[in-house]
Structures are given as C-alpha cells and as structure tokens.
C-alpha cells in the first residue's frame, strides 16, 4: 500500500482506472467459507447450519466457529453468508474489483472481471451439490447469515454484538420497488439468497443482494434470480449492480452470457490481490460512479498518506 500513498488515482466513469491483472487465485484468498445445499458437514452428512471452509482443491473442513443454530429453528438451511464490512464492498459496487459467484445447483465458483466482464471458472467442485453461500476475506469468519425462506421476515441475520440491525424482507422489497419493478410483490415473496454488506459508522450502510426467482403464480417471471441489487439501507432505495461493464438486471442473461445451466445467482463475493489497498482506493468510488453517471465527467482523487 505504501507505494500508492499520495498517488493520484484517476476515477473514470467506466470504473476505477486500475491496471488489469489475472484472476486472483483461490489459494491467495483468505478465510474461504461456503455452504452447500443441503447443509452438510465436512463428511457430507446432513448438518443444518454448518458452514464449511474450502481448500481450493475440492476439500472442505467444518468451520468450528460457524454452526448457525437458532432456538426453535432446527433444520433451517443457510443460503447466504456475509460480513458486516465486506472489505472489498466499495470497489466491488464501483466495478473496481473481480467478482466471484455461483448459480443455483452448481458446485463451482466463477469469476467476472471488473470493467471488461471477462469470465471464467474460479474454483471447481467446491461443494458436493451446490455452492449456495460464500464469504471470503472478512475479519475471520462471516457474522451474517440468511436462512432459506427468510423465516420471520428476516432476510439477513447479524450475529454479533455491535448493535447492527438485521435486514428484513420489507427492506429488500422497498429497495426493489424503488426501481419501479416488483410492485405486485409482498415482503414474504422474497428470499435473499446472496449478500455482501457494508456497514458504515452511524448508518446501516449498503447491501448487495440477490433473491430466489419469483413469478406471478401463472408462470410469468417477475424476478429471475439473476439480478444483483445494491440497496442503501438508510434511504430504502436500490440500483442494479453495475459490474463487468454491464448492469446485473433482469434483462442481463446469466446463462446466455456465461454458458451456465441456471439463471439464479445464489452466491456472490469479491476478490483482489491486495484488498486493503483496493478498499482504500475505492473510498467514495460508489458515489463517484453515481455522480459520473449524472454529469458524464472524469475526476481525480489524491490518496491520503498511510
Ligand atoms: Ca446451504
Ligand atoms: Ca451454486
Ligand atoms: Ca434466505
Ligand atoms: Ca438469486
């Protein structure tokens, strides 16, 4: 990071003007957590709530700190993981770092490069059945989870002691409807199935999320599950993620674009070789992008010393 201190970084309206590099290898990423579907332990035995570490070579170990159990909720399945401050969140939503993701009923994790949208296999055979939750970097362990079906109206549960609020189905719906879509939906129609969170001081911050596909009951798609939303939890407004040079909206064809077998995104994360440096670079980047969209300009920022 030191060589970057004081450097002038150009933020263009096509994203952070950072040099392109190869995909960040799985083994260079720390704290690699996932959940299978159904939830299993390291031996493949059904174990609702058990979060696993993956070794990048098809092996998995129980994370002994992460067996998500809630009273009276025996049998619930984890379908999303997050950290209260995903370190790459801001560059991720500014199209400044590589995204990794999985789709429903898929054991693999794929990458999409920032800006260019270049795509490939990031790590294969991670899960026995389906990588359906993913958390990397973080502090040490994920501290948020979602259960399948979002029971009790709670889409994302914070498990720590810092007073951070859970995220409710009603908040997801307010964000989605702020885009003018899903107006016929009720909160209970939504089931969060992928998440990243950025919890800024004195605010509830930002949430990147996806949901399980929803139709109108007659087979007409309302949300195909491939959407990724970026929700401002303070204003209850959302926009579609802009990553890889395109919007992750309903019109974006996940299967058609990447040649995958399922449209539903059910795990998201971000990776970079030097996450702390990139997180610093991206301070304000999300909002810079929004400003750029409005005024169509390029701007420069001077990094603080450090
Ligand atoms: Ca699971
Ligand atoms: Ca999957
Ligand atoms: Ca859920
Ligand atoms: Ca989804």
Separation of 301 CA from ligand 4 center, angstroms? 35
Burial class from Cβ neighbours inside 10 Å (0-12, 13-18, 19+) for residue 288 reads buried
Lowest mean pLDDT among 92-101, 107-116, 193-202: 193-202
What burial letters (b/e) apply to 181-212, b meaning 16+ CB within 10 Å? bbeebeeebbbbbbbbbbbeeeebbbbbbbbb
Note the ligand closest to the C-alpha atom of 35.
Answer: 1
pLDDT band at 200 (very low <50, low <70, confident <90, very high): confident
How many CA atoms lie within 13 Å of 267's alpha carbon, on the beta-carbon side? Answer: 30
Gap from CA of 108 to ligand 2 centroid (Å): 7
Between these two residues, 276 and 182, which has the higher pLDDT value? 182
Q: What's the mean pLDDT in 90-106?
A: 96
Ligand 2 centroid to residue 107 C-alpha, Å: 6
Please state the pTM of the whole predicted model.
0.83
pLDDT at 279: 53
> Which pLDDT score is estimated for 10?
30
How many angstroms is it from 156 CA to the middle of ligand 1?
14
In the prediction, which pLDDT does 75 show?
A: 85
Q: Six-digit token pair at 53?
A: 């570490």
Q: What is the 148 CA–ligand 3 centroid distance (Å)?
A: 4
Residue-wise over 214-247: b if at least 16 C-beta within 10 A, else e? beeeeeeebbbbbbbbbbbbeeeebbbbbbbeee
124-128 long-range contacts (CB < 8 A, ≥24 apart) are 124/58, 125/58, 126/34, 126/54, 126/58, 126/60, 126/102, 127/34, 127/36, 127/37, 127/60, 128/36, 128/40, 128/44
Measure the N-to-C terminal CA separation of the chain; round to a whole number of Å. 8
CA of 51, nearest ligand number: 1
Using the mean position of ligand 2's atoms as its centre, give its distance from the Cα of residue 248 in Å: 17
Written as one string, the DSSP assignment of 251-277 is: TS-HHHHHT-S---EEEEEEE-SSHHH
| Higher local confidence (pLDDT), 297 or 237 | 237
- Average pLDDT value for residue range 19-42: 86
In the predicted model, what is the mean pLDDT of residues 42-47? 95
Between the CA of 192 and the centroid of ligand 4 the distance, in Å, is: 7
Spell out which residues have Cβ within 5 A of ligand 4, the ion. 193, 210, 225, 264-265
pLDDT above 70 coverage of the chain, percent:
79
User: Residue 186: pLDDT above 80?
Assistant: yes
Among the residue ranges 61-65, 143-147, 263-267, 286-290, the one predicted with the least confidence is 286-290
Sort 105 into a burial class: Cβ within 10 Å, 0-12 / 13-18 / 19+.
Answer: middle
Q: Which ligand is nearest to the CA of 267?
A: 2
Structure confidence at residue 304 as a pLDDT band (50, 70, 90): very low
224: left (phi over 0), alpha (psi -120 to 50) or beta: alpha
C-alpha of residue 131 to centroid of ligand 4, in Å: 12
How many Cα atoms occupy the beta-carbon half-sphere of 146 within 13 Å? 33
The pLDDT of residue 31 is 92
């Amino acid at each position: 990071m030191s060589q970057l201190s004081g450097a002038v970084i150009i933020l263009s309206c096509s994203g952070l003007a950072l040099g392109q590099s190869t995909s960040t290898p799985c083994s260079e990423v720390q704290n690699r957590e996932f959940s299978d579907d159904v939830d299993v332990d390291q031996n493949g035995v059904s174990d609702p709530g058990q979060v696993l570490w993956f070794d990048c070579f098809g092996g998995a170990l129980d994370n002994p700190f992460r067996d998500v159990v809630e009273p009276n909720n025996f049998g619930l399945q984890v379908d999303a993981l997050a950290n209260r401050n995903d370190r790459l969140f801001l560059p991720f939503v500014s199209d400044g770092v590589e995204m990794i993701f999985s789709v429903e009923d898929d054991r693999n994790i794929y990458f999409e490069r920032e800006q260019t949208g270049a795509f490939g296999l990031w790590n294969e055979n991670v899960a026995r059945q389906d990588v359906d939750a993913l958390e990397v970097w973080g502090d040490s362990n994920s501290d948020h989870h979602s259960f399948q079906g979002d029971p009790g109206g709670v889409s994302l549960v914070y498990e720590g002691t810092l007073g951070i609020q859970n995220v409710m189905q009603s908040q997801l719906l307010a964000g989605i409807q702020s885009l003018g879509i899903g107006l016929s939906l009720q909160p209970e129609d939504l089931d969060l199935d992928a998440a990243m969170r950025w919890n800024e001081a004195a605010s509830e911050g930002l949430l990147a999320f996806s949901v399980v596909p929803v139709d109108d009951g007659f087979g007409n798609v309302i949300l195909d599950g491939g959407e990724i939303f970026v929700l401002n939890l303070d204003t209850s407004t959302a926009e579609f993620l802009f990553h890889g040079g395109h919007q992750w909206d309903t019109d974006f064809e996940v299967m058609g674009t990447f040649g995958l077998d399922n449209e539903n995104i059910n795990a998201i994360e971000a990776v970079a070789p030097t996450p702390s440096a990139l997180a610093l670079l991206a301070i304000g980047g999300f909002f810079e992008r929004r400003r750029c969209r409005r005024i169509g300009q390029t701007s420069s920022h001077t990094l603080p010393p450090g």
